[in-house]
Structure 1
Amino acid sequence: MESSVAEYYNNVNNNGSSSSQSQTSTCMQKFRLYETQSNFYMIGRNKSRIYWRVLKIDRLDPFELNIREDSTTYTEFECSELLRRIHEGNKSTGGLKFVTACYGIVGFVKFLGPYYMLLITKRRRIGAIFGHNVYAVSKSEMIPLPNSSVNPSIADFRKENRYKKLLSSVDLTKDFFFSYSYNVMCSLQKNLYNNEPGEVLYETMFVWNEFLTRGIRNHLKNTLWTVALVYGFFKQASFSVSGRSFKLMLIARRSRHYAGTRYLKRGVNEKGSVANDVETEQIVFEDVSDGFPTQITSIVQNRGSIPLFWSQETSRLNLKPDIILSKKDQSYEATRLHFENLVERYGNPIIILNLIKTQEKKPRESILRQEFANAIDFINKDLSEENRLRFLHWDLHKHSRSKSTNVLLLLGKVANYALTLTGFFYCRVTSALRPEECMSWPSSENIDDGDMLPLKYSNDTEDIYRSERNYSGENNVANGNHSVKPPTFQRGVLRTNCIDCLDRTNVAQYAYGLAALGSQLHALGIKDSPKIDLDDPLADELMSLYERMGDTLAHQYGGSAAHNKIFSQRRGQWRAATQSQEFFRTLQRYYSNAYIDAEKQNAINIFLGHFQPQPGKPALWELGSYQHYRGRNGETIMDEDGRSLFKRSFSDGNILWQSESPVMAKNGKQEKSLNSTLPGLSESSPEISTCESILPQCLEDSSSGTCKETAVLKPVEFSSLNVGMASITLTLSTWTVFHRPEILARMNHLMGHQFLQALRSLVFHWRMLLTV
């Protein structure tokens, strides 16, 4: 089954473009690196050891990347003979030496000195899709290309070493994954159906080593020697329902566009790319023996920062920095570009689930809620009723505090509504089916509306099989043994966001995943009903998977695990334990954002090629840790939004502006029906009072009544944490921390010391409480 079904997925060649002519037999998975005084020799072979190739990398030119691929395909014996002859010809300079075994090239990089080659030296299998293995990186190695005799002298070797440490701090062993024969950077539907001929897969938004592999791809015009790394989350699990086993894969793909850390990447850039843009795919299929039809389904959803020009200053004095609307875009062009990109990727409709707060004592999130609604309304004016953006707002924080509200139950209704609009991907195949047969179904553009797929599910929707029998496109497999049902397709996507697109967003994505899982199992014939009750053990298993995914994505973007209060309450976890866990995660996230994220952002910028060092130019860390780099060759003076770069240590308050046009509600019949069943769900904008903030802050002198520009330092108070009768209040005095005239010390050391001392004190108090 593996060899025949493998033909579905295009082997990556011709500069990473997809080609149905490629066979997995040419896919090289294991490599051995040898060296002589003048060259590296990389020997690659396929899994069956019948396909051997040779790559030659020059070691004499320290400043250029010179790579040549031997066009000959060798047998194992012929390759051994070639290596023997190379050894004999280089005996005078030490001969041919074995360096390391590896599993693919991550790329090549140059800082201020020579080129380095990044290799995967250990891997681990984390799953498989129809026999196509998916791997994670267990160990990687960075090897300088020039030999020691020609290694150039570096004017500032300290900077070179620091750049190397920065790149190495992007830990490839955490959350990076790849596959040799399956395009793991693409969804299942795109791989099986929508794959565009000639598309350069390495240049798609989810391949994180696009920049690192650019040099070797340009030299060789193929990607036989490299692996495409996807960053995010991958987990495969097996379940059973009524004695029938199935596998579920949860995949999260993080975009490399506008990538970075929480406070340093917010909102949207000029190109329409948003921060924390993650595509989540849920694949479900039943394991059956060879010779019988195999069915597979998938559903895709999306999360991403609110697509407006907004930011929050990293602050060591404030747990919740003010939200700054930093650019007034009258025509919302960047927002429009973002949604046009979503339509290009997923089709219509685009359903936006906005979970941020509606009302606050001090407007923060509600500022963005108002402007986001204005932007959607402005964009919808130019769209047809059929293609308009569906904007749903539901204040999750408000409803989660109400004891009478079942948050997951209500979110499930929103999920079912979205699933009804988009449908999901379903395909039935056999081990004998070839790519041409899967691709022969009519494109979605050519299907009449009356027979439009995907099927739209609701509780009273016709059974999938009865619906499919009405479709005239039913074909037979070439051998005539099985009838192959036409696939159904997902059209459109649910896009969920809160402020960070981490905690609340993950809860909503779980609700959507649960609704989709019921429909997926129903389509596979495993369940009679498309509904899964929240009390079903399967719902708890899926919740654990989404919780793990949420924690992983939160660590990547926010610096701590996700706040899973709703999940903890669902499991009946002890309230005090939940509160302590949430509090520690808040502290961890605060510390990471204030002290670690700047260096982390620098590492990401180096890895993605957003900053390329040049001799005689300012180093990356000399440009200011709060800047967003876009420039090349060390000449960075503008950020990705085209704004001049400057650095501020403290948040200056809300910089906001009143919106000119009110938001008109354009609810269709489905939206009205949904809104009537869900409290607090609306497509219209709330009335939010806003006011202009003046910087620097004008403080009125009590005696003279005049305005003084004054910097006021106030204590930062962490919220009280109640545990039974005990209450812990942690207060950090910024005056004590930052204003120490009696000693000469670095401020960050003082703050770090104070923070650690407070943390130790907090742990001591908690231990005392738990022993009472």
Structure 2
Amino acid sequence: MASTLPYRDINVHASSSYYAFSSPSSPNAPTLVIDRPSGDFRLSEGKVLGAKRVSSIAGILGIIRLRLDRYVVVITKTQTMGRLRGQMVHRVVATEFLPLRDPQVRDPDEDTYLSLLKTFLKNGPMYFSYTMDLTNSFQRQAEKDLAEPLWKRADDRFFWNRFIQTDLIEYRLGASQRSSLRQSVGSHPEVDPFILPVMFGMLRITNTSVKGNPFTFALITRRSRHRGGTRYFSRGIDDKGNVSNFNETEQIVIFNDDASAGMAGYAGDGFQNGRIPGNPGKEVHILSYIQTRGSVPVYWAEINTLKYTPKLQVRGVDSAVPAAKRHFDEQIKTYGDNYMVNLVNQKGREVRVKEAYEEMTRLLVSTPAENTMPSPSTEQQFHVVEPAEKHQEYDRLHYVYFDFHNETKGLRWHRAQLLLDQLHQPLLKQQYFHGVDMPGDKLGRMEVRNRQTSVVRTNCMDCLDRTNVVQSMLGRWTLTRMLIDLGFLRTGENASDDAAFEHLFRNIWADNADVVSRSYSGTGALKTDFTRTGNRTRAGMLQDLNNSCSRYLQNNFTDGPRQDAFDLFLGAYQRSSSDTTYVDRRPVLIQSMPYILAGCLFFIFISIFTRRLPNATVWPLRLMTMLCLGVAIWTARFIWTHGTLYVNWPKLNTPPWATEGYQDAMSSVRHDPVIGSFIRGHERGRSEARLGYLEEGKKRKE
């Protein structure tokens, strides 16, 4: 019988005609062979001859096709993060790309793609386990068939390397490797141990205690692979119902977990799932609580123009209703009732997003009943949209607006407790998951004693800073409830009463904020000083200023390549051997503006601070300096006015609003009284093809 769990040790043998992958701990298992350069798979029962062992790897991340070649991406180095229910959890530290072809020619785009992917994998926080499913919450794990292979049990949303595992999965299922045929050629269950699901997000596991009661505390945030991307290039919802920056956060408490047990065995050894039992004299209790976050589910975008505050664009709410229905169909099916907490501002530019969200809720909920509860300090504290009567599935949506900025301004962070008071009854009703290990069960199944029946879905504009403050507050409240229900705390006591644990809890949630923010915006989160210490400090505000400046630079000048890396890895871009994607097709004069500005500023700086000879003629230098000053002012004004032309947009899947902004900016430049005639007269091949990557119309592929 073939193992259903991934191999934790794989040897790689390479030759000019194939790569061979085998597990030394499973000598009777067949060897997976990938022929070069075709990329065809086959299984070999005997020892593969003519190859040289090149390395030992921790797993196969997948196979990716770029412009000229396909590459086997392997995990070469990992870091052990800890144990959950006695099962080891690892982080991907280093990867390597094994080309199927011997490189004959150098291709600039191919090199660019490889560089993007290597940087993405180096910086991306990815985790996996050989023996447990990290992509599913413990509640969903309890509902799975644990006899199935690990990759089949994985949640498709959080199976981060699902796209680059496509070739292996199709071969496993028996599909033809030729995409034009898709014929059934017989399944190959022996391939299951080579398919390793990887999760992207945040994971922390620590052994701690509250008032002398020891337990394992873990926090896992899983980022969805659907509509993955960066801050200003991935907003709102798509036609398939996927929202940007969707994350599921699971807070886990395990009592009587035997953290000192030996290392879980190799695939096929010991228990079927490699689990090691805990203390046989005590029940192992697993408690977990799920929260979600995600972008406001309407069609909206923010358009970079080099201004600190981008232009906000909200498209028709009515047109987004089918997509929102698909989104909430999945959310209700997976989590039950959704309590949608909206934290965006009720004034200024964010109010349009708030109003669009509320309008969408009214369109989905039958006979909506609205209630506004005023606060002495603001015009509006809570705005609640609830169904008057439940007639349909979407009446399980409950909208709660909380004016976070106004309620907490002036460092009054304790007023965030008002939201907790508003959600008190829903939190009591939704419960949390509670399972107990079934002694002697070789599959590691759990006896379910309680289920979480709903979820709080929190968002601000980016689902980052304000969102994490609120989620950590809800996590603390639920943890206290868990400890009271199990008898470790008395009614009226709080987990935060234990200073050492409170310090640990705050820092883990602050780390979660930083990881989620870094993967989306490029910097750590704002307001983490409050999450870490419970107080807003001046040092924290200075750090927020630094992060805000860094976000501005990254969102305008480096997020385009980061978005391209997301699209390549997640399969949102269909590559073509004829693409010349990274050629800059802007007119040379427009390209040269930043260099002209830099040269003028350099000359002005030198003229001011360079010492002159006593008998030197001054007026030519002054004239030249004044000329450079005038040119510098004009070029700076030009760049600022036409900032869309200088944003580093994604080149593979350029957003439609970027194309529109580019066209508008070019139209404005052609009418510029100074350089308009040069652009009109010398524009290279002024046609629709001239827009290059902005007009290629690449389609996203899931």
For the criterion TM > 0.5, the same-fold answer is yes
1:646 corresponds to 2:659: yes
Q: Is the 8 A contact 1:175 1:232 kept in 2?
A: yes
Of 453, 461, 482, the residue aligned with 1:499 is 461
- 3-state SS of the aligned residue for 1:259? coil
1:564 corresponds to 2:527: yes
Q: Deviations over 1:293-323 (max 9, x none)?
A: 111101110000111111001231x212132
- Between the aligned partners of 2:356 and 2:531, the Cα distance in structure 1 is 33
Amino acid at match of 2:11: R
1:266-345 equivalences in 2 (<5 Å): 266-287=235-256, 289-316=279-306, 318-330=307-319, 332-345=321-334
- 3-state SS of the aligned residue for 1:610? coil
Amino acid at match of 2:342: N
- 3-state SS of the aligned residue for 1:487? strand
- Between the aligned partners of 1:184 and 1:426, the Cα distance in structure 2 is 17
Partner residue in 1 for 2:90:
135
Amino acid at match of 1:247: T
Q: Is the 8 A contact 2:211 2:498 kept in 1?
A: no
1:100 corresponds to 2:55: yes
- 3-state SS of the aligned residue for 1:233? strand
Q: Is the 8 A contact 1:312 1:651 kept in 2?
A: no
- Measured after TM superposition, the shift of residue 388 of structure 1 is 3.1
Partner residue in 2 for 1:548:
511
- Measured after TM superposition, the shift of residue 172 of structure 1 is 4.2
Of 311, 315, 338, the residue aligned with 1:350 is 338
1:505-654 equivalences in 2 (<5 Å): 505-529=467-491, 532=494, 534=496, 536-537=498-499, 538-564=501-527, 567=530, 570-572=533-535, 574-575=537-538, 577-619=539-581, 646-648=659-661
Q: Is the 8 A contact 1:521 1:530 kept in 2?
A: no
- Between the aligned partners of 1:314 and 1:266, the Cα distance in structure 2 is 13
Distance 1:172 1:291, change over 3 A: farther
Amino acid at match of 2:162: E
TM-score normalized by the length of structure 2: 0.72
Distance 1:533 1:100, change over 3 A: closer
- Between the aligned partners of 1:375 and 1:201, the Cα distance in structure 2 is 33
- Measured after TM superposition, the shift of residue 710 of structure 1 is 9.8
Of 199, 214, 221, the residue aligned with 1:252 is 221
- Between the aligned partners of 1:613 and 1:622, the Cα distance in structure 2 is 18
Amino acid at match of 2:543: Q
Structure 1: gaps spanning 5 or more residues = 1-20, 73-81, 91-95, 440-485, 653-695, 698-708, 713-772
Partner residue in 1 for 2:433:
425
- 3-state SS of the aligned residue for 2:562? helix
Amino acid at match of 2:231: R
- Between the aligned partners of 1:250 and 1:357, the Cα distance in structure 2 is 29
Amino acid at match of 2:361: I
Distance 1:579 1:165, change over 3 A: same
- 3-state SS of the aligned residue for 2:208? strand
1:372 corresponds to 2:341: no
Q: Which runs of 4+ in 1 moved over 3 A?
A: 21-24, 49-53, 194-203, 402-405, 414-418, 433-439, 533-536, 568-574, 620-629, 649-652, 709-712
Distance 1:211 1:173, change over 3 A: same
- 3-state SS of the aligned residue for 2:222? strand
Q: Is the 8 A contact 1:411 1:511 kept in 2?
A: no
- Measured after TM superposition, the shift of residue 107 of structure 1 is 0.8
Q: Is the 8 A contact 1:313 1:650 kept in 2?
A: no
1:8-157 equivalences in 2 (<5 Å): 27-46=6-25, 52-59=29-36, 62=37, 64-70=38-44, 72=45, 83=47, 86-87=48-49, 90=50, 96-146=51-101, 148=102, 153-154=104-105, 157=107
The percentage of aligned residue pairs carrying the same residue is: 24
Distance 1:568 1:508, change over 3 A: closer
Amino acid at match of 2:418: L
- Between the aligned partners of 2:252 and 2:435, the Cα distance in structure 1 is 11
Q: Deviations over 1:573-597 (max 9, x none)?
A: 652x222111111101111101110
Structure 2: gaps spanning 5 or more residues = 174-190, 258-278, 368-386, 586-644, 674-702
Structure with the larger helix share: 2
Amino acid at match of 2:404: L
Partner residue in 2 for 1:234:
203
- 3-state SS of the aligned residue for 1:266? coil
Q: Is the 8 A contact 2:437 2:444 kept in 1?
A: no
- 3-state SS of the aligned residue for 1:28? coil
- Measured after TM superposition, the shift of residue 120 of structure 1 is 0.5
Partner residue in 2 for 1:739:
none
- Between the aligned partners of 1:524 and 1:434, the Cα distance in structure 2 is 27
- Measured after TM superposition, the shift of residue 174 of structure 1 is 3.7
- Measured after TM superposition, the shift of residue 44 of structure 1 is 1.4
Distance 1:132 1:569, change over 3 A: closer
- Between the aligned partners of 1:621 and 1:274, the Cα distance in structure 2 is 31
Amino acid at match of 1:516: T
1:388 corresponds to 2:350: no
- Measured after TM superposition, the shift of residue 328 of structure 1 is 4.2
Q: Is the 8 A contact 1:134 1:179 kept in 2?
A: yes
Amino acid at match of 1:502: L
- 3-state SS of the aligned residue for 1:212? coil
TM-score normalized by the length of structure 1: 0.66
- Between the aligned partners of 2:422 and 2:239, the Cα distance in structure 1 is 31
Of 176, 180, 189, the residue aligned with 2:139 is 189
- Measured after TM superposition, the shift of residue 157 of structure 1 is 1.4
- Between the aligned partners of 1:404 and 1:113, the Cα distance in structure 2 is 57
Distance 1:645 1:217, change over 3 A: same
Root-mean-square deviation (CA, aligned residues, Å) is 3.4
Partner residue in 2 for 1:750:
none
Partner residue in 1 for 2:172:
220
- 3-state SS of the aligned residue for 1:133? strand
- Measured after TM superposition, the shift of residue 171 of structure 1 is 2.4
- Between the aligned partners of 2:75 and 2:40, the Cα distance in structure 1 is 21
- Between the aligned partners of 1:110 and 1:302, the Cα distance in structure 2 is 33
Q: Deviations over 1:151-181 (max 9, x none)?
A: 5x45x61221111112112124641001111
- 3-state SS of the aligned residue for 1:393? strand
Amino acid at match of 2:344: I
- Between the aligned partners of 1:509 and 1:415, the Cα distance in structure 2 is 12
- Measured after TM superposition, the shift of residue 423 of structure 1 is 1.0
- Measured after TM superposition, the shift of residue 510 of structure 1 is 0.3
- Between the aligned partners of 2:528 and 2:12, the Cα distance in structure 1 is 49
Amino acid at match of 1:418: P
- Between the aligned partners of 1:569 and 1:184, the Cα distance in structure 2 is 26
- Measured after TM superposition, the shift of residue 206 of structure 1 is 0.7
- 3-state SS of the aligned residue for 1:169? helix
- 3-state SS of the aligned residue for 2:250? strand
